[in-house]
């Protein structure tokens, strides 16, 4: 079956008043509504001149029904979402989105929770959105189940009559940590299993909170999914590399690099390329939207980008090796270690402990080699 075009308008509305009507009923002034639209426009990374178009669309928008499924994940994505500041996630979830199932956030549990999911699917057949965080195990179904239902079975059942699917976090989008070599559960991404519905990937470990809400807001506002890149990520947030939008980029261009985390370059805030920053090959909006209500992002805090919004970032070599250094396949290392036997691991462990103890004794400053794991 041909994958539907994500740009096609999708009807996901429930039989409820429009957002404009709801705000009017709550006594929100037009100024308040315009302010809300300004925040939404910024949230969706649209140009400020789009506020009037957003206001026009939002006044007619209706609440979409959302079913949120969590599979092989750490709840970091939900943690990220519930710390979203703009607009407050409470208003987004409770006011603008009908979140009908989210087994971490909902009050109902057990059979009542599953009944809520089935009721939402039935009431909004063909119109609801499915948000997924976590990857899915293709190995033993028992690796991850909810209410005795395997992840794959629950995804297939829920997606069958969905309008679209949003894969939140690198696990759902690309397999993430569960899929890291040697992928013990046979984990796959949502996109590997869902071929007949539009799938939007919102990767990151976790994704930036406002990027999650921004995609939902885009859907709420325009009734369609945003424009996507070749990996299914919204271009408005993943169109630029971290490197291209990094305030330290100017130092890269001047050839000024931190060589270690405590040298002059590090203290002066120079480029972190040589200490392993993956910014040049990572597409995300951390450099502009930042984290914790816009307070900072890893590079601003002195640590290189890990590349968490790119596929297989766990297996892309050391977080502290420059991109220019060759990456030894993890499989080769693992095979070597197995062949050499457990003694190698024990020896390496002793060596590391010895080095650390020696460094403590001589008060040596930690260097890159201390951050590397040789076993």
Partner 1 sequence: MTADLSTPRSNGLSVPDSTSESPTPIESDLGFGNIRPLLFQLSEALNVLVADNVSSAIDLRSMPFSPGEESELKRVLGNGEVSALLKALGETELWETAYPGVWWVEHRNPEGERIAQSLEITWVPDILKSQPEDVQAARQRLNELLRISGENLHDKA
Q: Which residues bind partner 1 (CB under 8 A)?
A: 28-32, 34-36, 38-39, 41-43, 45, 47-49, 85-88, 245-248, 250, 269, 287-289, 293-294, 296, 300
* DSSP, res 135: B
Q: How far is the CB of 326 from partner 1 (least distance, A)?
A: 30
Q: How far is the CB of 16 from partner 1 (least distance, A)?
A: 21
Helix (H) / strand (E) containing 26: none
Contact 181, 219 (CB under 8 A): no
Nearest distance from residue 240's CB to partner 1, in Å? 9
Residue closer to partner 1 by CB (options 270, 314) is 270
Instruction: Work out how close the CB of 204 gets to partner 1 at its nearest, in angstroms, rounded to a whole number.
Output: 17
**CA-closest candidate to residue 96, choices 88, 106, 104, 107:** 88
SS3 72: strand
- Our CB check for partner 1 shows the closer of 9 and 48 to be 48
Q: Is 239 within 8 Å of 342 (Cβ atoms)?
A: no
Q: What is the DSSP track for 294-314?
A: TTB-TTTTT-----TTSTTGG
Task: Determine the Cα–Cα distance for residues 214 and 40; give it in Å rounded to an integer.
Answer: 8
Shortest spacing between CB 180 and partner 1, in angstroms: 30
- Provide the minimum distance between the beta carbon of 17 and partner 1 in the complex, in angstroms, as a whole number: 17
SS3 14: strand
Nearest-angstrom CA–CA distance, 222 and 218: 6
Nearer to partner 1 among residue 103 and residue 249 (C-beta): 249
177 neighbors 76 (Cβ within 8 angstroms):
no
Closest to 277 (Cα-Cα) out of 239, 324, 238, 322: 322
Q: Which is nearer to partner 1, 16 or 91 (CB)?
A: 91
**Three-state secondary structure call for residue 65:** strand
Compute CA 51 distance to the chain's CA centroid, rounded to the nearest angstrom. Answer: 26
Minimum CB–partner distance for residue 286 and partner 1 (Å): 10
How far lies 210's CA from each of 40, 76, 96, 206, 217, in Å?
A: 10, 14, 15, 11, 10
Whichever of 5 and 293 has its CB closer to partner 1, that residue is 293
Q: Which residues share a beta bridge with 227?
A: none
Which residue, 48 or 255, has its beta carbon nearer to partner 1?
Answer: 48
Closer to partner 1 at the Cβ: 8 or 88? 88
Q: How far is the CB of 36 from partner 1 (least distance, A)?
A: 6
- Provide CB contacts within 8 A for 213, sequence distance 6+: 43, 81, 84, 86, 87, 89, 92
Q: Which is nearer to partner 1, 186 or 269 (CB)?
A: 269
Q: Which is nearer to partner 1, 38 or 82 (CB)?
A: 38
In the bound complex, what is the minimum distance in angstroms from residue 139's beta carbon to partner 1?
42
């Amino acid at each position: 079956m041909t994958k539907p075009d994500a740009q096609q308008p999708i009807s996901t509305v429930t039989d409820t008043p429009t957002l404009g009507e709801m705000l009017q009923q709550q006594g929100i002034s037009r100024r308040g509504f315009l302010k809300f639209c300004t925040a939404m426009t910024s949230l969706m990374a649209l140009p400020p001149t789009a506020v009037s178009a957003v206001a026009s669309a939002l006044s007619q928008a209706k609440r979409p029904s959302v079913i949120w499924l969590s599979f092989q994940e750490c709840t970091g994505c939900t943690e990220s979402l519930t710390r979203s500041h703009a607009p407050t996630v409470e208003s987004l979830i409770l006011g603008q989105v009908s979140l009908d199932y989210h087994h971490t956030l909902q009050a109902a549990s057990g059979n009542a929770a599953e009944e809520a999911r089935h009721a939402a699917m039935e009431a909004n057949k063909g119109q609801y959105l499915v948000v997924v965080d976590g990857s899915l195990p293709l190995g033993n179904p028992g690796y991850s189940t909810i209410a005795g239902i395997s992840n794959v079975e629950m995804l297939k059942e829920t997606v069958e009559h969905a309008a679209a699917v949003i894969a939140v976090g690198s696990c759902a989008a690309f397999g993430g940590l569960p899929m890291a070599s040697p992928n013990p559960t046979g984990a796959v991404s949502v996109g590997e299993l869902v071929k007949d519905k539009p799938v939007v990937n919102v990767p990151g470990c976790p994704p930036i909170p406002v990027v999650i809400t921004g995609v939902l807001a885009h859907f709420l506002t325009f009734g369609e999914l945003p424009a996507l890149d070749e990996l299914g990520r919204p271009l408005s947030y993943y169109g630029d590399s971290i490197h291209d939008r990094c305030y330290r980029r100017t130092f890269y261009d001047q050839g000024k690099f931190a060589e270690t985390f405590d040298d002059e370059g590090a203290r002066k805030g120079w480029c972190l390329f040589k200490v392993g920053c993956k910014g040049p090959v990572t597409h995300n909006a951390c450099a502009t939207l930042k984290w914790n209500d816009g307070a900072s992002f890893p590079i601003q805090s002195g640590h290189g980008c890990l590349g968490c919004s790119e596929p297989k970032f766990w297996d892309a070599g050391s977080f502290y090796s420059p991109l220019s250094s060759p990456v030894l396949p993890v499989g080769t290392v693992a095979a070597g270690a197995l062949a050499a036997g457990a003694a190698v691991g024990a020896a390496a462990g002793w060596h590391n402990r010895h080095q650390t103890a020696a460094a403590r004794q001589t008060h040596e400053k930690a260097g890159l080699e201390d951050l590397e794991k040789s076993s």
